[in-house]
Structure 1
Amino acid sequence: MVDFSLLLWSAIPPLLLLGYYYRVPFAPPLLKLLMFFGIGAISGLLALRLEWNFETVANWVVDWERIKRSLPGAILRQLVEVGVIEEGCKLAGVVVPTYYLQRTYRLLPSTVFLFTIAVALGFTAEENWIYLFHNTGSILGRTISTPVHAMFSAPWGYALGMYISSKNRLYQDRKFILWAWLNSVICHALVNILSSACSYSLALCFLNYGLFPFLLWMFWRLEQLLRKVQGKPVITLIWERTPQRRYWQRGLVLFALVLGGNAIFGLFLLANKISFLSPSKLFDSYILWFIFSRFLLNLFFGVLAWGIYRYLRHSARRRYF
């Protein structure tokens, strides 16, 4: 019964997010998306096995366990092991079945992009189960991280979709897939390093404040790429022609990401602290005031970030229309 509940907690958040993206016009049949979701879970198991094999071979050659405990070693591990293997397995999980499907169907860019999201979310469900089964992650933490693998894989999913749907497949298009995949590997490694920075040195804990703004930017990039594969215009936030004004608008975008990202981070930390309290403690006046004040503070920063975003969008619309 416990294992079944863990399975539900692992699979339901990714499936709900897959349902959210299923709203896209001309989406492939739900059964095909669920098939790719299952392939993503299998690719997660394959990645886990390959990482274990990599660790075994690396320990034969060098003292890999000692190397990866240092920050430079951890960065190297994320780049040459975790990022490469996990993004490679997800890429294979999309390319192999898509190769057979394109013989029968003409695949749209949005279709391939949704296949990529489905595989990434299936990979997430498998990873959630591993973390929860071994008690190395909380349900709240794993739920918050549900879209992360989809955000990692979005660049090469977009490049692959444009390549497969193109009538003239050029060498430059294949090269674009490679560069997009490398971008995903680097982003994957960077997020993992930022999320675990405190475990290497207390002086590096400030890097945690860059994690959620970076995740917020990656989610924005995912949504922009989704609009592009549907043939919709991307949302413009920076439109000024003079360098000074463009720098000002870029600064506003960065400021909004920092505010919005750390507002989400603050709410996550607050929810994480509350989860360890007994229900009777929640009604203590000091605890209630702490929850209320922290919630309002993070809400204020989030609303301010949203206001900056709406201001930039409104300015761009007024400029073009």
Structure 2
Amino acid sequence: MADLSLLLCAVIPPLLLLGYYYYRVSTAPSLLRLLFFFIVGAISGFVALSLEWVFETVANSIVDWQQMNKSLPGIALRQLVEIGPIEEGCKLAAVIAPTCYFQRRYQLRPGSVYLFTIAVALGFTAQENWIYLYNGTATIFERSIGTPVHALFSAPWGYALGIFIGSYIRLSRYKKVIPSAWLNSVICHALVNFLSSAWRYPAPLSFLSYGLFPFLLWMFWRLEQLLRKVQNKAPITLISGYTPKLRNWQRGLVLFALMIGGNAIFGLFLMGRIISPLSLSQLFSPDIFWFIFTRFLLSLIFAIIAWLIYRYLRRSARRQYF
């Protein structure tokens, strides 16, 4: 029974997110087909886990790979040469193989292939959630917060693959873009895992962790922009100034909004990690309640400032075009 509850906790958040994107795309493929890709993505997660075990076994026979991975540079190297390439490679294969099969029978739209990528990434996440929860190395709260991360990683090559496969006339330039988009995903994957490990080390290295959630927020923005593009919708414009000075000012505002907005989410994440083991009676004790209130209020203020900057940039862009 406990194993079933862990499985449900691992699978339900990715499935809910998949349903959210399914209903947002008007030309989405059937839900049954997306669930098939979700399952294939989960299988690819187990394949990636096996390949990583083989890689580390071979690497340990050549160098002291485990000892190297205890330092921050060693973690960065492991993410770039092992974790990122293997996991993004398995997800890419999990999208391409079934897509080629369906492509023989149907004319797939770019949005469909992009959704296939999201479904595979979320299936991969469900498998990863189950591994972490089963081994007790992460909480349900932590894994739920990380639900969209693999989809954020895979968005660039999912978009390039979707445009290439979904075009009536195969665009060779997008075929050439797929490898570079995949490499972009590998680098982003490695960077996120690197930043998420930085908090374990003493200052100033620990300060690198404050770049994690702003970077994730930017990747979420990128995923949303690419989703609009595969549906032939105009992208949302934030940088609209006609002069270099104005455009640099707007870029600075975007960066500032990402920093405070991302760290508003980071603050809520840290607060959730602290209070998740507490009982209901402890949550309403004066000290804990005041801590929750002040942390939530601070994060809310940062989030509101980031949102106001976003609305200001949107309005500025509209005035430029009308």
TM range (shorter): over 0.9
CA distance in 1, matches of 2:60, 2:82: 13
* Contact 2:37–2:119 under 8 Å retained in 1: yes
Q: Secondary structure at the match of 1:307?
A: helix
Letter in 1 for 2:269: F
1:73 and 2:74 are equivalent in the alignment: yes
Letter in 2 for 1:316: A
Q: Which residue of 2 aligns with 1:199?
A: 200
May I ask how many residue pairs the two structures share in their alignment?
A: 321
Query: CA 1:285 to 1:199, structure 2 compared with 1: closer, same or farther past 3 Å?
Result: closer
Letter in 2 for 1:293: T
Letter in 2 for 1:5: S
CA distance in 2, matches of 1:170, 1:224: 21
TM-score under structure 2 length normalisation? 0.98
Q: Which residue of 1 aligns with 2:6?
A: 6
Aligned ranges 1:1-321 → 2 under 5 Å: 1-23=1-23, 24-321=25-322
Report runs of 4+ in structure 1 exceeding 4 Å deviation: none
* Contact 1:159–1:180 under 8 Å retained in 2: yes
* Contact 2:46–2:127 under 8 Å retained in 1: yes
Post-superposition offset of 1:253: 0.3
CA distance in 1, matches of 2:77, 2:129: 24
Post-superposition offset of 1:318: 1.6
RMSD: 1.0
CA distance in 2, matches of 1:232, 1:281: 49
Letter in 2 for 1:110: G
* Contact 2:164–2:172 under 8 Å retained in 1: no
TM-score under structure 1 length normalisation? 0.98
Letter in 2 for 1:173: Y
* Contact 1:33–1:118 under 8 Å retained in 2: yes
Letter in 1 for 2:33: K
Post-superposition Cα deviations, 1:200-245, rounded to whole Å, max 9, x if no partner, equal 4443111111000000000000000000000000000001121110
* Contact 2:121–2:151 under 8 Å retained in 1: yes
Structure 2 gap ranges (5+): none
Q: Secondary structure at the match of 2:104?
A: helix
Post-superposition Cα deviations, 1:22-63, rounded to whole Å, max 9, x if no partner, equal 111010000000000000000000000000000000011111
Post-superposition Cα deviations, 1:159-182, rounded to whole Å, max 9, x if no partner, equal 000111223435432220000000
Letter in 2 for 1:291: I
Letter in 2 for 1:144: I
Q: Secondary structure at the match of 1:196?
A: helix
* Contact 1:156–1:184 under 8 Å retained in 2: yes
* Contact 2:225–2:235 under 8 Å retained in 1: yes
* Contact 1:70–1:200 under 8 Å retained in 2: no
Q: Secondary structure at the match of 2:27?
A: coil
Q: Secondary structure at the match of 1:305?
A: helix
CA distance in 1, matches of 2:142, 2:69: 24
CA distance in 1, matches of 2:42, 2:136: 19
* Contact 2:109–2:167 under 8 Å retained in 1: no
- Residue range with higher mean Cα deviation, 249-258 or 264-273: 264-273
CA distance in 2, matches of 1:289, 1:68: 39
CA distance in 2, matches of 1:164, 1:278: 52
CA distance in 2, matches of 1:262, 1:198: 14
Post-superposition offset of 1:73: 1.6
CA distance in 1, matches of 2:271, 2:61: 43
CA distance in 2, matches of 1:209, 1:173: 35
Identity level (%): 69
